[in-house]
């Protein structure tokens, strides 16, 4: 079993990596002032938001998640990214749809990194 601090550190780094990739792909909609420190702090906030706030939002949105067969989770992920941009001013996301796309990109990066790390374990 892995140490909780190690899991949190990995979540932070993967969130930062995903946010950096999303900012690169959506450069017209996401501004991080070309500073890696902004990405790292926003990634830390995103990891904390995903640990503390996201489970509550998922429980509250459970009927919508079930009704849409899980597709509403895309909206929940976008809301978490948008919340981080509101909490941390140096990260600017222009609109809700950019946050949705950023959430999808971060989720994809998270999936790919997790798959690579799981492959290495076996």
Could you tell me the pTM of the whole model?
Answer: 0.91
Q: Quick count: other Cβ atoms within 10 Å of Cβ 51?
A: 12
Q: What is the pLDDT of residues 58-74, one digit of tens each?
A: 999 999 999 999 999 99
Q: What is the pLDDT of residues 69-113, one digit of tens each?
A: 999 999 999 999 999 999 999 999 999 999 999 999 999 999 999
């Amino acid at each position: 079993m892995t140490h909780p601090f190690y899991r949190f550190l990995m979540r932070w780094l993967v969130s930062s990596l995903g946010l950096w990739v999303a900012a690169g792909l959506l450069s017209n909609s996401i501004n991080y002032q070309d500073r890696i420190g902004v990405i790292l702090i926003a990634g830390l906030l995103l990891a904390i938001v995903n640990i503390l706030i996201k489970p509550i939002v998922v429980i509250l949105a459970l009927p919508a998640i079930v009704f849409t067969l899980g597709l509403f989770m895309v909206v929940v992920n976008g809301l978490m990214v948008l919340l981080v941009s509101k909490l941390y001013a140096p990260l600017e996301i222009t609109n809700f749809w950019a946050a949705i796309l950023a959430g999808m990109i971060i989720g994809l990066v998270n999936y790919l990194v997790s798959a690579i790390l799981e492959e290495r374990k076996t």
